[in-house]
Amino acid sequence: MLSDKKPCTPFLYAVIIGLIFVYPFIVKDRFYFWESMLICITGIVAVGLNLLTGYAGLISLGHAGLYAIGAYTGALIGIKLGLNFFPSLLISVLFSAGIGALLAYPTVRVSGVYFAMVTIAFGLLVENILIEWHSLTKGPVGIDGIPPVKIGGFKFTEQYYFYLIAMSFFASIILVKNLIHSKYGRSLKAVGMSQIGAETSGINALSIRSLAFILSAALTGLAGHYFAYLNLYLSPEIFQFDTSILFLVIIIFGGLGTTFGPIIGTIILVVLPEILQKFSDYRLIVYGGLLLVLLFFMPRGVIGSLNQLLKGLRPKPSNDEVGISVAAGGIKLREGLLDRGRLMNGDGNLVEIKNLTKQFGGLIAVNDISITIRPNTIHALIGPNGAGKTTLMNVISGIYKPTKGEIYFREGKIDDLSQSMIAKKGIGRTFQTTHLFGEMSVCENVMAAFYPHIQYGLTQSFFQMSSMRKQEREIEEQAMELLDFVGYKGKSEELAKNLPFGHQRLVEIARALALNPYLLLMDEPAAGLTVREIQELDNLINNIRNFGLTIFLIEHHVKLVMGISDEVTVLDYGRKICEGDPDSVRRDPVVIKAYLGGTVK
């Protein structure tokens, strides 16, 4: 149950629901019962925040603001409009999600401290609006007179309110867990680990982060609403900066990015203040000290550390002796894998780069370059260091926007598209230093890039519907097939960061191929590989080409380049100095001069 991988069976769900049912009969003490409800409510916030901070890696220091919005909206609608608990609940959630969407717009574009700043500002903004807007919120005095929870004529006693809250907490855990085990969760984690890797896998980082932010806001708003009807009194003091910190501490304590971390964290941190009461004036000093100790000795939190411990007990998979071996041809892949290149019709050019210039301040990295890439060829881009090769490749894949000039891909203009759009159009990319998702397994890395091709939506993910599970299984099989195709023979469940360098490169190639691309851009694929590995790479590139794909690669390894390329373009100081088949390029005096110096005769 501690591991995220094992599926929770319906039996386990039934047990938990049963426990929730009997809980009010076991815990009779009113104070503890009330605390239990507070734990469930705070737990819902923690689940939402964990989605954002734990999985997407965005650290929010302003969730108290969203919590306040849910609480005040719910309470005020109940008091001023006399609306019933459930309709107002819907409004609270939608309103919080809406605010989340508005806030997502400025925040998801930034990360790290900038994201933290926007969220701090948001939290303080809400707090001060609550203080200032007397006519609505009664300012610092706070509001009471929140009506009791009713549905029709049925009045919710504490017992039934507990059922509602506990079931919501349970449901939020399951739904978020399900979401994490879908293409959305995979993309969310991917974006958090390497934005550039995610974008080149066809994942739009902004929209996936916005999704996380909005869902997180909705859950926090829901919790706020429940809190209003539990506490029956609200004041701005409850929703200060410290509360936002508390939420963060909870998910850290439980374990960032774990399914069950928020439960443990919430229980400990809601109960802790009661224990610390006996330190009276010193309680916050002790609290701060505990936080420091935790961060220092248990940065993965309770659940994270337990998972680590369990992992340590299992035998460690070893990839050391596993080599790379690429089949020598005659490979068949299932439908949907690497078939777009072959199915392509027409005999036009695949890529046309027209008078492309890329300037960084005073430096012209790429200067008025035009290149045509013909379909189903291997086209190499060579040149001395600093010639502008990688810059050119970055412009093609959308990482940079060109200063001047145009790029056409399959007759469509692509130079103004985003990275993920370009990837979706069918341009895969690998990097000189790999941009894999380090904390994800090898298989997941490849599966992540199927994102643009996956049909199922949010609802199917939330409920892990059978159609969704079927697609996931297919994608997993396809990912394994691609890994086999590129010659990766290691363990597919190993974390990408633990792989030796050559294997990382193969996995990145497999990931790029998962897009089912027409064109594969490779930036120095042979760099850092052993002689034997380069031989395998040579085979692999040929195999890829045999599937109808076109390959555009930057490479320094002359033997490899001259052996496999149909066309070679040479750059020097940002300009194209030569182009042609390998033999003519090799003999070209301008090229010899660029590489070896000396004068041209």
Partner 1 sequence: MTEVIQYLLSGIAMGSIYSLVALGFCIMWATSETVNFAQGDSVMIGAILGVTFCGDMGWPIWLGLSVIIIVCSLFGIGLERVAIRPFRGISDIGWMLSTIAIGIIVRNIAMVTFGRYDRPFPTVLVKQPIYIGGAGVYPQEILIPIIALGLMVGIEMFYNKTKFGSAMRAVAYNRDAAGLMGINVNLMISFSYALATSMAGIAGFIVAPVILASAYMGLLIGLKGFAVAIIGGITSPRGTILAGFIYGVLEKFIAGYFSTAAREITAFFLVILILLVSPRGIFAGKTRGA
Residues forming beta bridges with residue 288, ordered by sequence position? none
**Least Å from the CB of residue 464 to partner 1:** 29
Give the nearer residue to partner 1 in terms of CB position, either 265 or 487.
265
Give the nearer residue to partner 1 in terms of CB position, either 370 or 432.
432
* Helix locations, 353-398, DSSP H: 389-396
**Least Å from the CB of residue 268 to partner 1:** 15
**Least Å from the CB of residue 209 to partner 1:** 14
**Least Å from the CB of residue 106 to partner 1:** 4
Torsion, Cα of 427, 430, 431, 434 (10° steps): 140
Give the nearer residue to partner 1 in terms of CB position, either 40 or 61.
61
CA distance 487 to 535: 12
**Least Å from the CB of residue 301 to partner 1:** 11
- Long-range CB pairs of 413-418 (<8 Å, 24+ gap) are 415/356, 418/199, 418/204
Give the nearer residue to partner 1 in terms of CB position, either 75 or 248.
248
Is the CB of residue 248 less than 8 Å from the CB of residue 59? yes
Which amino acid does the sequence have at 306? L
Q: Which residues bind partner 1 (CB under 8 A)?
A: 53, 59, 61, 103, 105-106, 109-110, 112-114, 116-118, 120-122, 124-125, 128-129, 131-132, 241, 245, 248-249, 252, 256, 281-282, 284-285, 287-289, 291-292, 295-296, 299
Alpha-carbon distance values, 439 to 239, 303, 406, 493, 510 (Å): 34, 16, 37, 11, 17
Alpha-carbon distance values, 119 to 60, 122, 278, 337 (Å): 6, 5, 33, 42
Give the nearer residue to partner 1 in terms of CB position, either 251 or 571.
251
**Least Å from the CB of residue 266 to partner 1:** 17
Give the nearer residue to partner 1 in terms of CB position, either 114 or 501.
114
CA distance 589 to 592: 5
Is the CB of residue 213 less than 8 Å from the CB of residue 188? no
Give the nearer residue to partner 1 in terms of CB position, either 17 or 125.
125
Give the nearer residue to partner 1 in terms of CB position, either 52 or 537.
52
- For 98-146, the three-class secondary structure string (H helix, E strand, C coil) is HHHHHHHHHHCCCCHHHHHHHHHHHHHHHHHHHHHCHHHHCHHHCECCC
Report the residue count for the chain.
601
CA distance 33 to 37: 6
**Least Å from the CB of residue 124 to partner 1:** 5
Q: How far apart are the first and last CA of the chain?
A: 75
Give the nearer residue to partner 1 in terms of CB position, either 215 or 249.
249
**Least Å from the CB of residue 113 to partner 1:** 5
**Least Å from the CB of residue 99 to partner 1:** 12
